[in-house]
Every structure is written in C-alpha cells, then in structure tokens.
Structure 1
Amino acid sequence: MTDTRYTFDAEKLEKLRKESPWKSEAKYFKDVCVSPTAIVKMMTHCQSGVDKGIRKGGNPIEVMGLLLGRPDPQTPKTLVVTDVFPLPIEGFETRVIADDEDVVNHMIALGESLENTRKEKFMGWYHSHPFDLGPNSHCFLSSTDITTQLQWQRMEDPHGNPFLAMVVDPLRSMAKETPQVKAFRVYPPEYSSSVANECPDGSIIADEKERLEKWGSCWNRYYELDIDYFMSNSARRVMDILTKNLWMNTLSLNSLESESRKQYPDRIEKVAETIKKADATGFAASLMEKRSMPGLSSSSGPVRGGASSGGLSSSEGGSSSTRASSKKAEEIGEACDELVDFASEKIHEGFTQIAKKSIFS
C-alpha cells in the first residue's frame, strides 16, 4: 500500500472527481495520508517562523503554505498529501491569509505548472499556530481559518478537488519531540450535528469553557481527520540502513532540543505565578464552606473543571465564595496540568539518560 500512495490510476481518479461523493456528505472524508517529504517541509517551514520572530525580538510568526495531493481512488474516503509548498505569507495570532495579489498570482501559476508536470493539484493549505505552551494543543481553526477554509471548499469541492486544512503547533512539537499537527474540514453552514456538544475529534465535552480552550470559539463548525504517514519501500530500506548504522549517534544525542530546554524556565515561572495568584488559604476555606452546604456530599469529586454538577439549595448560582473557589480551582487545575506535562517530559529525558548509561557504561 505504501508505494501505491505515490502512484494512481488517472482514469479512476478522474471518475472519482466527476462523481464528487463528498458534496452530499458533510463528514465524508475520514483520513489523511501524509508523505515524509510533506511533513518535513511543513515542520521546517513552521519552525522558521518561530525562529524569525524570536530573532527580531518579538513573538513567533505564523506561516502558511499549500498542500499538493489528491483524493485516493482506492480508498475514496482518504486524502493523500504528497508534497507542500511554503508561501511568503506571515501573520500573527489567529490571522494568516493569502490576500496579496502577487502571492495569489504565484499560487495560480505554480498550481497550473504542477498539474501539467506532476498531474496533481493543490488540494489544501497549512498554517502554524505558534502560541504559548499550555495544557492543550493549539491545533484548531479560528474564525478567520473557518472563513478561509469554507471559501476554498466552496470553490474547489464542486470541481472534484476536495480541500483540506492542516494546522501545526511548532512550539509544542519541539517540546514533545514529535509533530503536533492536525487536519480539518469545515461543515457547510447549513449543517448541524445531531450529537450535542460534539467536538471536532468526535469527543463529547459538556463543559463550555473546556471546549473553547481546546477547539476555539468555532468548535462546532469543523471536524478532524485522522492523520497517517506513508513511506515508499525504497525509502523504508534507506531508513533501516541509517537506523542500523547510526543508532549509536541517535542514542548519544540529547533528547530535547536546545530551543525546548530554553523554554523550561518560562514555563515554570508561568505556573508559579498562577499558583501564587491563587490565594491558597482563601481557596481552602471557600472549598470547605462549599462542601458543608446542603445538596453537596463530602465526596463531590475533583474541583477542577468549573461548577459542580450537584445542586445548590441556598441560591441560584451559589454564594460568591463558591464561585470564587470554582475559579481558583480551575486556575490551579490548569497549572497542575502544565506541571504534569512538564514532569512527563523530564521523566522521558531521564529514562533516555538511563538507557544511554546502561548501553555505553
């Protein structure tokens, strides 16, 4: 199957494009297969935006590029990304769009050239979300992203070219030492999910604050596709040789990149400030008061996640102290999540060092 991703039956592909079954089903596509070339170029480009912004003394810069590929005739509900092409477009926060006339003309000319030479089309776009590290990934679609993606889908989908959006979190990728990237498609405006509180990944999150933190304000307007990576048999043989001959060098490398290590003090300081701002004494007192109120058992569960599901008999929203304790619980909960994330990375680094010592000592 891996080699077949690089080739395709032109007649079957043309037939699939003409039928365009995705036009009648909002969640038609389920998977995305990405080539090594595409993911490496994508991650390198997104990391360059981080480096460029920091070198200028500011925040990391968002970047954007185009995806080259096609729907797969053999597995029609799968999209295949074979290559990517960075664009000279930069932005900040949740806004990065291709609205420059020269850039648009470049995209059109490049697209026509690739269709004639490689027989593939631009079938999507990617951009980065280089925001501060936190408990959740920043791979989501903002309202601007939704508008951009919906325009692409309206232009390309009816003509047999289903369009895809991919979002990269470069800072989290460095911290986790693995690509943090997700793929999305946008629902038509008239679509409404039959499942209440269904998030883009299919999970059900009842808490609105948690949904917004994880998926953004437009969480119900798009859905996530599973990502898989493919490699040709020839490339796999080369990787096997490199792994066999260079495994010692791989183990001897430091497990975390220098850029990631430099971020550790900032992450610790951020968590410390959060905990410092939360008045521990006041929080504990308000929590005890909350647990002693009628309608709440002493084992009401973890305090993180907002208001309790138990009823408050004394007033509509509970006392001001209850609301204060709930807010502080959320703040401390988020700080704890970040600490767990950080500790997991350090434990992973420690295990790597132990493995090195066992092998080389």
Structure 2
Amino acid sequence: MSRMYFDHAATTPMAPEVIDAVTQVMKEVFGNPSSIHQFGRQAHEYLENARQTIASSLQVKPHEIIFNSGGTEGDNTAIIETALARQNFGKHLITTAIEHPAVLNTMKYLETLGFEVTYLPVDQKGNLAVADFQKALREDTILVSIMYVNNETGNILPIPEIGAILKHHPAYFHADAVQAYGLLEINPHEIGIDLLSVSAHKFNGPKGVGFLFKTDAIQLPPFLHGGEQEEKRRAGTENLAGIVGMSQAVSLLKATDKNSKRAEFQQFQTVLLKQLEAAGIPFEINGDVEQATHHVLNLRFPGVRNDLLLMKLDLQGIAISTGSACTAGTVDPSHVLEAMYGKGNPTIKESVRISFGSDNTLAEVEELAAKLIAILTKK
C-alpha cells in the first residue's frame, strides 16, 4: 500500500539538501559557537552565515535575527516580553480568535497577570475586518499579535493594512508567520512588523528550530536567562545543526518558486474539487479561496464525522487532519471553525484539513479524490 501525506500544515518532510547539510554539520562541526578556539570559531562562522542567509530572505539586518527553538518560543518571547516590558504604558493587547494556541494560550496567561486582551472576531469565511481592528485599537494598546496566514483555512490576514495603521501608533506589532514564511514574500520593515515568528519545520527544514525577527527599533529583555548567546538575547547553546539545516531550507526558497508553489497548490485544489463535484459529493469550503495561500483546503462533508473519515483514509495510507497539529488527538473542537460559525455548529465536527506540500504530485491528488469518493459513496 502506497502512503500519501496531505498534512503539510502540521509539518513538512526535510528536503534532501537539508538532511545533507544537517548531517555534515553533525559530523564535522561539533564546536560550541561561543568558544574562542578554532573549533568554536568554525562553528561560529557557520552560525553567522546562516543568520545572513535568513536575514537576506526578509531584507533585514543579520543582527535582527534571533535563533530559537521554533514558533512557540518565538510567539511566547514576543508577546510575554513585550507585555511585561511595556506594562507601564498600558495593559491592553489585541489578537484574533483564530490564532495558533501558542498565541492564544500565551494571551490567556497574561490575562491572569492583569492584562486585558481583545480577541478580534472573523466572519464566516474566516476573514478579519480591518475596521474591527481599528475600533479595538486604544491609546493603552501596547501590543498587537496577529497571524499572517491561518493554519486551518490558509486565509491570508490583512497584515500590511494593520501594519500601516500601527505605523502611527506606539503599539508593537507581532506577526506569527509560521504558515506564511515559506509561501509569501515578507519584508517586515516595509510592512511595519516589529516582531515575526518563524519555524523551520513548516518549510522542509528541521524540527525544533526557528527564529524570531526583532527590529532594532524596539528594545525587549531576554525571555530565557543564562549565557550570553545571541548577543544576550536568547540564552542557551545554539542548535547549530538545526540552524544550518534551516538556513539550507531558506536557500531553497525563491520568490519565483513561492509563486509557482502557490499556483500548483491552487491547481491541486481545483482538481480535487472538480472530481468531488463530478461524483456528486456534497461539500462546503471553510475559508476564503480568494484570500488564501492555497496550501490548505478545509472541507466540510455534511453528515460525515471528520474523525471517522480521517481514520478510514489513514487505513488506506493517506494522511490528512481535523485541524491544528497542536490540538489533534484531543476532543476539543476547532477554535478556528468555532470563531467562524459559532460553538455547536455541525460544520465543526464534519470538517477536515487537507494541506499540500512540495512533495505532493497531481497523481497523488487524483488518487486522494478517488479514495475520498469511494469512502463517501460507500453505503
């Protein structure tokens, strides 16, 4: 039985070039980047070359890249340290109801410390209204944290528009770009983003490594305390093999490739949906295909339990999901779909997430469609 993977929003397989880069560093570059002898200097050179590569991809200064363990650490660092450092200027924070748990649970934690959080709503297509953001923005707002691309619908949120508004407001602007970085060209300085979280395993890099962009225009204390790594901004010996692997994954990302990937994913969606339509399968799309990266397709099949559908596909070697990987395996419903449709809506338990990656082929998509049709038409 062949195996097919359609859960790239959860994680992606490492590219062969990334595996080679990681392996080479693990074999040959074992020095501590903070050591001053030749082994340390060699490791430090690899570290700074990786920092330069990643900074260039965002058109920012190398100094503005802080290596860490991934998106969750980046989100926690940006949000908690901003809140604690700026609470004398206000205690109001703004986010959305559809953020990743790394943001939402961090906001809930800050509420226990006396901060006030506004959770912006979205419409039934999962879109955020800029007007709602403008209404929520106050003089005592010290931080706005909004994801660039939603991990369950693939919707692109109005980050440039919000950044333009915040250029005239003292609040810091943080964007969780975990789902966006590998598919969209992002220039934080141009958009007005102060802090940006990225995780390598979402774009064919290693797990357990990522980075936080922090503009030099703002000052924040370190989240982790200890040694003087990352210019005293993030203590702990750097995961050099992971960082070099992430840098290699970044090197594989080119603007033209990002555009072609999104076009290919859109083709995958079109083929899959046309086959379902031709077979007379009733379905609904959760999200806005006109405002999306197309790597995520969230579908509702009325009357079909999503956990059973996932299980039947898994038995045939096909991997999809019912939502965020950080909540998968639990009985909790999708908070994203709840925000879109309201709690208790049947859509929530009848929807699945299909997410494409660079290793998928059109033939695989056609086979996925055939397997879906066979399962959904079986009496």
TM-score w.r.t. structure 1 length? 0.28
Structure ranking higher in helix proportion = 1
Looking at both structures, which has the greater relative contact order when contacts are Cα pairs under 8 Å and sequence separation is at least 6? Answer: 2
TM-score w.r.t. structure 2 length? 0.27
